[in-house]
Chain A
Amino acid sequence: MWRSPTLAAGGTILVVVIAMGLAAPWIAPYPATEQHMLDRLKPPGGRFVLGTDQYGRDLLSRTLAGARPALALGLGAVALGLTLGVPIGLAAGYVGGRFDDLVMRVVDAMLAFPALLLALLIITALGASTVHALLAIGIANAPGIARIVRSASLALREAEFVLAARVRGERHFYVMFGEIFPNVLGPVIVEATLRVGFAIMAGASLSFLGLGVQPPTADWGLMIREARQYVFLSPWPLLVPGTALAVTIVAFNLFGDGLRDRVGAA
């Protein structure tokens, strides 16, 4: 891992972000929702290392706590995307023919929606909440993942080990998940890692629009939504969670790109 600077840098930042998110309740100087009405919109320094927001809540504490919903949503949404996308992609690539045509047409049609728009449609039907945001972003990620898995497994359809398994009389389910899947795992892991960064961004966008995580939870997107009104009085409530968000997304992108170079996948 240390031979690749991208992988090392991304990995290190990720470990730090995850550790901070996990340890937030113990290392944060204040509870994330505690208000200090006499210390509103304070700049960094003194009792509040990174300043306070419009209710006098400590920005450092809130930003640490905000790592949790961001990571949970990013990882959860991609896990859901994989759960839906991998079997669809494997089946399309393995079965081929008309079935593949049909499935890929639907996938293409779903990819015609910007992911955020697809998520918004789903949120409209379900209502705004953290869990619904995760579901919506997960579903919006599935077609892209299906596409990657499909093209990787299509290439293996006629591979000798696959034909051998079929001649042995293995069940289709086993051939897909036991023979083909382990061999497409590399590109899938790379794709998934890169998607976590974008899923976090999409989740933060939904929260920013008021359609994801609801107040008073400490969440980066929501913090920025609330900071908006006061941005000319104090830029810190925008800058602190904004930086945390950007650093986390950069870390996932670096890590994913580093993995890609390692795996040698497209």
Chain B
Amino acid sequence: MTHYALRRLASIALILLLVSVIVFAAIHVLPGNAATLILGEYATPEAVRTLEREMGLDRPLPAQYGSWITGVVTGDWGVSLAMKQPVATIVASRLRNSAFLALAALAVVVIVGIPLGTFAALRRGRPLDLAIVTATYVGISIPEFVTGLALLVVLAGPSVGWFPTSGYAELTSGVAEWTRHLVLPSLTLTIVLLAHVVRQTRSGVADVLAAPYIRTARLKGASTRRIVLRHALRNALLPTITVVALDLGYLMGGIVVVEEVFAYPGMGRLIIYAVQNRDVPLLQMCALVVASVYVLANFAADLASAWLDPRVRYS
């Protein structure tokens, strides 16, 4: 297990390094450099050159990348151009807010999705299964900003007003207020994620139920409840762990749109702010942090799978 973890960790380190190169390259190699991005297209060439010198953009790209990545590793994440604050400070608080959102959504998804998928698999081909499958299909196909706005109209409209239409409340202003602000954005994220997890669990459980060892258990006279809980779910949920981890990647993209809809101050909204203000240092770090969270989540999922299923370790 330790050997497997170390081997995976080495490849993770390499991937994170490549991720940082891609973030840097996406902004610096494509036409249009950071100085022109900041000053806009009507800037005089002199102004652009002065800013380039100040920002060190006149140096060769590998040297620029080198000093950037050294800063990232040593904890110097630079200063946001638009907010005039250290990037690390901004990202830390926004990342925390997004984590609340993502974890709330993930928790609901796991608690509701796995039983729902198992239920559908047990009733395969019956009306309830068809209803669940259809609902997941629709859930996957409606963009988050449509679901979010629809929820907003129904649950936060002036006539209902159960939830605030936007914003965020600090925990210091009370748990109830904090929760009220979390509900609509996390519910929006939940809808798409739920569809993924339900589908994966359904097909996982259905596959396992067809296995010979389940028939053996049945012939031994085990109850359906025991078969599902003790025999089927253990094996059926392995792929679900991977799907949940992959969904974290989706969540990271989903928060961009959902946070914008609900004006929720998290990483997603910060990214949009950075793009709109052409705040290159901020955007680079946001992208790097989001991608790293995703890579590490997948690493955690791999470890969990390997721990639960010894076969994974040796392949």
Contact = CB atoms under 8 A, between A and B. Distances in A.
Partners in one complex: yes
Interface string B267-309: 0000110111010100100010011101100000000000000
A205 B192 CA distance: 15
A145 interface: no
Looking at chain B's contact residues, the main secondary structure is: helix
A246 B195 CA distance: 15
Interface in A105-162: 105-106, 108-110, 112-118, 120-127
Interface stretch (B15-23, B90-98, B105-113, B207-215): B15-23
A121 B253 CA distance: 12
B253 A115 contact: yes
Given A224-B146, A246-B138, A124 B290 contact: no
A118 B261 CA distance: 20
Contacts of A254: 137
A116 B257 contact: yes
B214 to A, nearest CB: 23
Contact of B18 (A106, A208, A232, A246): A106
Contacts of B290: 113-114, 117
Contact of A114 (B37, B150, B252, B276): B252
Contacts of A211: 275
Interface in A202-247: 204-205, 208-211, 221, 224, 227-228, 231-232, 235, 238-239, 242, 245-246
Contacts of B272: 120, 209
A253 B260 contact: no
Contacts of B138: 246, 250
B143 interface: yes
Contact of A125 (B30, B250, B252, B271): B30
A208 B27 contact: no
A75 to B, nearest CB: 17
Residue of B146, B274, B292 ringed by the most chain A CB atoms within 10 A:
B146
B81 interface: no
Given A109-B19, A112-B294, A117-B291, A122 B30 contact: yes
Contact of B142 (A126, A208, A242): A242
Interface residues of A, number: 44
B257 A120 contact: no
B141 A246 contact: yes
B14 A121 contact: no
Interface string A237-266: 011001001100110011000000000000
B119 interface: no
Interface in A171-218: 197, 201, 204-205, 208-211
B174 interface: no
Contacts of A205: 143-145, 256-257
19 contacts: A105-B14, A113-B290, A113-B294, A117-B252, A120-B272, A121-B23, A121-B27, A121-B283, A122-B26, A124-B274, A125-B26, A126-B30, A205-B144, A208-B143, A209-B256, A209-B272, A242-B149, A249-B141, A254-B137
A-B interface, 4 closest residue pairs, ranked by CB to CB distance from nearest: A114-B253, A109-B18, A125-B30, A242-B146
